[in-house]
Amino acid sequence: MTAGRAEPMPARKPGADVVRWDAPLQFLKGVGPQGALALGKLNLRTVGDLLRHYPRRWEDRSNFQRVADVQNGEFVSLCGIVIAVSTAYPKPRMALTKVLVDDDGAALTLTWFNQPYLEKTFLALKAARRPIVVYGQARRSGWSLEIQNPEWEEIGEDDATFSTNRIVPIYPATEGVRQTRLRKLVDAALQACLDEIEETLPPDVLLRHRLVGAQNALRQIHFPDSLPELDAARRRLIFEEFFTLQTLLALRRRASSHDARGLSFTVSPERLRDDLKQIVPFALTRAQQRAIDEIGADLSSGRAMNRLLQGDVGSGKTMVALAAMLMAVENGYQAAIMAPTEILAQQHAIVFRRLLEPLGLSVELATGSRGAKDKAGVRERLAGGQSHVAVGTHALIQEGVEFAKLGLVIIDEQHRFGVLQRQALAKKGQRPHILVMTATPIPRTLTLTLYGDLDVSVLDELPPGRKPIATHWKTQDKRSQVYAGAQRFLSEGRQVYVVCPLIEESEKLQAKSATQLSEHIANEVFPQYRVGLLHGQMKPDEKDAVMARFNAHDLDILVSTTVIEVGIDVPNASVIIIEDADRFGLAQLHQLRGRVGRGQHASFCVLMAEPKTEDGRARMAVMTETGDGFKIAEEDLRLRGPGEFYGTKQSGLPEMTIADILRDMDVLLETRETAFALVEADPKLARAENQPLRRSLERSKLGFELITVS
- What residues line the site for ligand ADP (CB under 6 A)? 282, 284-285, 288, 311, 313-319, 439, 463, 569, 571, 598
Of 315 and 674, nearer to ligand ADP (C-beta) is 315
Phi and psi at residue 581, in whole multiples of 5°?
-60, -25
Assess 224 for contact with Mg ion (CB under 5 A). Answer: no
Q: To the nearest whole angstrom, how small is the minimum distance from the Cβ of residue 573 to ligand ADP? A: 11
| Binding partner at 540 among ligand ADP, Mg ion, none, C-beta below 5 to 8 Å by kind | none
Q: To the nearest whole angstrom, how small is the minimum distance from the Cβ of residue 190 to ligand ADP? A: 52
- Asked if 242 and 667 count as a contact pair (C-beta separation under 8 A), the reply is yes
Q: To the nearest whole angstrom, how small is the minimum distance from the Cβ of residue 313 to ligand ADP? A: 5
Size of the site for Mg ion (CB under 5 A): 1
Of 285 and 513, nearer to ligand ADP (C-beta) is 285
Of 405 and 549, nearer to ligand ADP (C-beta) is 549
Identify residues 407-446 at the interface with Mg ion (CB under 5 A). Answer: none
**How long a stretch of residues is the chain?**
710
Three-state secondary structure along 313-363? CCCCHHHHHHHHHHHHHHCCCEEEEECCCHHHHHHHHHHHHHHHHHHCCCE
Of 113 and 282, nearer to ligand ADP (C-beta) is 282
Assess 80 for contact with Mg ion (CB under 5 A). Answer: no
Q: To the nearest whole angstrom, how small is the minimum distance from the Cβ of residue 466 to ligand ADP? A: 8
Q: To the nearest whole angstrom, how small is the minimum distance from the Cβ of residue 572 to Mg ion? A: 17
Question: Shortest CA distance to 564 belongs to which of 336, 347, 412, 353?
Answer: 347
| Binding partner at 375 among ligand ADP, Mg ion, none, C-beta below 5 to 8 Å by kind | none
Q: Residue 185: exposed, middle, or buried by beta-carbon count in 10 A (0-12, 13-18, 19+)?
A: buried
Of 356 and 517, nearer to ligand ADP (C-beta) is 356
Of 25 and 499, nearer to Mg ion (C-beta) is 499
| Binding partner at 569 among Mg ion, ligand ADP, none, C-beta below 5 to 8 Å by kind | ligand ADP
Of 191 and 440, nearer to ligand ADP (C-beta) is 440
Of 224 and 463, nearer to ligand ADP (C-beta) is 463
Q: To the nearest whole angstrom, how small is the minimum distance from the Cβ of residue 320 to ligand ADP? A: 8
Q: To the nearest whole angstrom, how small is the minimum distance from the Cβ of residue 311 to ligand ADP? A: 5
Identify residues 622-661 at the interface with Mg ion (CB under 5 A). Answer: none
| Binding partner at 452 among ligand ADP, Mg ion, none, C-beta below 5 to 8 Å by kind | none
Q: To the nearest whole angstrom, how small is the minimum distance from the Cβ of residue 439 to Mg ion? A: 6
Question: Shortest CA distance to 463 belongs to which of 332, 302, 287, 591?
Answer: 287
Question: Shortest CA distance to 709 belongs to which of 247, 251, 243, 200?
Answer: 251
Assess 594 for contact with Mg ion (CB under 5 A). Answer: no
| Binding partner at 449 among Mg ion, ligand ADP, none, C-beta below 5 to 8 Å by kind | none
**Strand bridging mode 144-148 / 75-91:** unpaired
| Binding partner at 313 among ligand ADP, Mg ion, none, C-beta below 5 to 8 Å by kind | ligand ADP
Of 313 and 607, nearer to ligand ADP (C-beta) is 313
Q: To the nearest whole angstrom, how small is the minimum distance from the Cβ of residue 317 to ligand ADP? A: 4
Q: Where are the beta strands (DSSP E) in 144-279?
A: 144-148, 151-154, 167-170
- Asked if 147 and 110 count as a contact pair (C-beta separation under 8 A), the reply is yes
Q: To the nearest whole angstrom, how small is the minimum distance from the Cβ of residue 118 to ligand ADP? A: 58
Of 224 and 314, nearer to ligand ADP (C-beta) is 314
Of 131 and 463, nearer to ligand ADP (C-beta) is 463
Identify residues 547-576 at the interface with Mg ion (CB under 5 A). Answer: 567
Q: Where are the beta strands (DSSP E) in 631-677?
A: none
Q: To the nearest whole angstrom, how small is the minimum distance from the Cβ of residue 586 to Mg ion? A: 19
* Alpha-carbon span 365 to 116, nearest angstrom: 67
Amino acid at 149: N
| Binding partner at 311 among Mg ion, ligand ADP, none, C-beta below 5 to 8 Å by kind | ligand ADP
3-state secondary structure (DSSP) of residue 126: helix
Which helix (H) or strand (E) is 139 found in, with range?
A: strand 131-141
* Alpha-carbon span 230 to 223, nearest angstrom: 8
Most distant CA atoms of the chain, gap in Å: 95
| Binding partner at 642 among Mg ion, ligand ADP, none, C-beta below 5 to 8 Å by kind | none
- Asked if 564 and 591 count as a contact pair (C-beta separation under 8 A), the reply is no
Question: Shortest CA distance to 537 belongs to which of 567, 570, 506?
Answer: 506
3-state secondary structure (DSSP) of residue 471: strand
Q: To the nearest whole angstrom, how small is the minimum distance from the Cβ of residue 437 to Mg ion? A: 7
* Alpha-carbon span 256 to 384, nearest angstrom: 28
* Alpha-carbon span 203 to 207, nearest angstrom: 6
Q: To the nearest whole angstrom, how small is the minimum distance from the Cβ of residue 300 to ligand ADP? A: 24
* Closest residue to Mg ion: CB criterion: 567
* Closest residue to ligand ADP: CB criterion: 316
Residues near 701 by beta carbon (within 8 Å), at least 6 away in sequence: none
Assess 611 for contact with Mg ion (CB under 5 A). Answer: no
- Asked if 305 and 262 count as a contact pair (C-beta separation under 8 A), the reply is yes
Q: Where are the beta strands (DSSP E) in 394-463?
A: 406-411, 433-438, 455-459
Of 164 and 603, nearer to Mg ion (C-beta) is 603
| Binding partner at 284 among Mg ion, ligand ADP, none, C-beta below 5 to 8 Å by kind | ligand ADP
Of 532 and 567, nearer to Mg ion (C-beta) is 567
Q: What angle do CA 372, 375, 376 make, to 5 degrees?
A: 85
Beta bridge partners of 108: 101
Distance of CA 607 to the CA centre of its chain: 23
Amino acid at 84: A
* Alpha-carbon span 389 to 406, nearest angstrom: 9
3-state secondary structure (DSSP) of residue 410: strand
| Binding partner at 571 among ligand ADP, Mg ion, none, C-beta below 5 to 8 Å by kind | ligand ADP
* Alpha-carbon span 683 to 259, nearest angstrom: 10
Q: To the nearest whole angstrom, how small is the minimum distance from the Cβ of residue 436 to ligand ADP? A: 13
| Binding partner at 315 among ligand ADP, Mg ion, none, C-beta below 5 to 8 Å by kind | ligand ADP
| Binding partner at 538 among Mg ion, ligand ADP, none, C-beta below 5 to 8 Å by kind | none
* Alpha-carbon span 208 to 229, nearest angstrom: 18
Cβ neighbours around 104 below 10 Å, total: 12
Of 188 and 568, nearer to ligand ADP (C-beta) is 568
| Binding partner at 606 among ligand ADP, Mg ion, none, C-beta below 5 to 8 Å by kind | none
Of 62 and 315, nearer to ligand ADP (C-beta) is 315
Cβ neighbours around 208 below 10 Å, total: 11
| Binding partner at 656 among Mg ion, ligand ADP, none, C-beta below 5 to 8 Å by kind | none
Q: To the nearest whole angstrom, how small is the minimum distance from the Cβ of residue 292 to ligand ADP? A: 11
- Asked if 255 and 683 count as a contact pair (C-beta separation under 8 A), the reply is no
Q: Which residues bind Mg ion (CB under 5 A)?
A: 567
